[in-house]
Structure 1
């Protein structure tokens, strides 16, 4: 149990905001507006901004995680089935909020379980005439700070695994 003075981590805050948005208020109560995580992270005008010298000293210890494309040999092995896909998640028919929270929790569980390669099925989303929202959004999500500690790289799947409507995702090794 946490104390009132404790603050949520960024990952916990993202998860909480997603859950809070899906909750419906009790009858006769007004809905509470939940701000986005990106809005909370920006300094407000009332908060003093640190000088550049202090900002570089503070930023040095942080490790910058960069999401890359899968290397060719690994991509080839995944496409031909010589490297096992240890988990799958299907995001078909979900809203962006539902898909984000499911993907985030799925990748957390897979990472904790030591899984290295998963398949994320977004679907092609061509029913509305354009390319799908999840098809465009999921690769962007995988590059956000919430997913960086989990995801090492990702790339489009082979035709036999869903083609442009699916992604191979390599998870980072879990630290022991």
Structure 2
């Protein structure tokens, strides 16, 4: 019994010693934190100078609900899409040249540009084939194609819309729609019917706005 009691007393002594060490450690941390806070207050006072504490007015602070964050970037993206959108209701007839090719040139673009485009003075760099697509599919494909062509700095492209022989009543519906869509795009400055070797009545050759580069001559 005595041996067991001595052992218990030894364990109790060790436990008390660990508690005392932990209490001393916590006290040292508290004093260190107080000293650090005191030094920061003194440094603030030396830097800012004398300050006067605001009087307690006794007013309660009411937590007001914050406004819901406005999705600004999404709204800007949607507005950009709307600006790029092309309508099926646009009347293009008044803007087309009264020639057999129903050419188009943006205001400020001379007639010689269309003549050179028809002669093939510009090399066709890329093409998109809309033949056989439904109207909505063709409109989206054309918009995407023009967007990528401008990003890549392309100057002259070809848009294949087909002759409309497979349309109901053999009416070239897509052919007229493509002209209407192209007129609405700012990056399109002129277009004309392709030469026979380049697709004839089933395609258009389109001249795109040349992107300006810093330091480039105009």
Fold conserved between structures, TM > 0.5: yes
Residue 143 of structure 2 corresponds to which residue in structure 1? 104
CA separation in 2, counterparts of 1:159 and 1:88? Answer: 16
Q: How does 1:94-173 map to 2 (within 5 A)?
A: 94-127=133-166, 128-144=168-184, 147-148=185-186, 150-173=187-210
From 61, 71, 88, the equivalent of 1:4 is 71
- Checking the alignment, whether the CA contact within 8 Å between 1:67 and 1:154 is kept in structure 2 is no
The structure whose residues are more often helix, as a share, is 2
- The alpha-carbon distance between structure 1 residues 79 and 153, as it changes in their structure 2 partners (threshold 3 A), is closer
Q: For the structure 1 residues 171 and 98, does the alpha-carbon distance in structure 2 shift closer, same or farther, using more than 3 Å as the test?
A: same
SS at match of 2:210: coil
Structure 2 unaligned residues grouped into runs of 5+ = 1-69, 90-104, 214-218
Report the secondary structure of 1:129's partner residue.
helix
* Residues 78 and 85 in structure 1, CA contact (< 8 A), matched pair in contact too: no
The structure with the largest alpha-carbon Rg is 2
CA displacement, residues 16-48 of structure 1 (integer Å, 9 cap, x when unaligned) = x89xxxxxxxxxxxxxxxxx898xxxxxxxxxx
1:5 CA drift (Å) = 3.3
TM-score by length of 1: 0.59
CA RMSD after TM alignment? 3.2
Give 1:77 shift. 5.0
Q: In the TM superposition, what is the alpha-carbon distance from 1:158 to its structure 2 partner?
A: 1.0
Higher RCO (CA-CA < 8 Å; seq separation 6+): 1
- Once the two structures are TM-superposed, the CA of residue 124 in structure 1 deviates from its matched residue by 0.7
| Partner secondary structure for residue 169 of structure 1 | strand
Structure 2 residue corresponding to 1:67, chosen from 106, 111, 124: 106
User: In 1, are the aligned partners of 2:114 and 2:191 still within 8 Å (CA)?
Assistant: no
Contact between 1:13 and 1:37, CA under 8 Å: does it hold in 2?
A: no
Q: Which runs of 4+ in 1 moved over 6 A?
A: none
Contact 2:125–2:155, Cα closer than 8 Å, also in 1 = yes
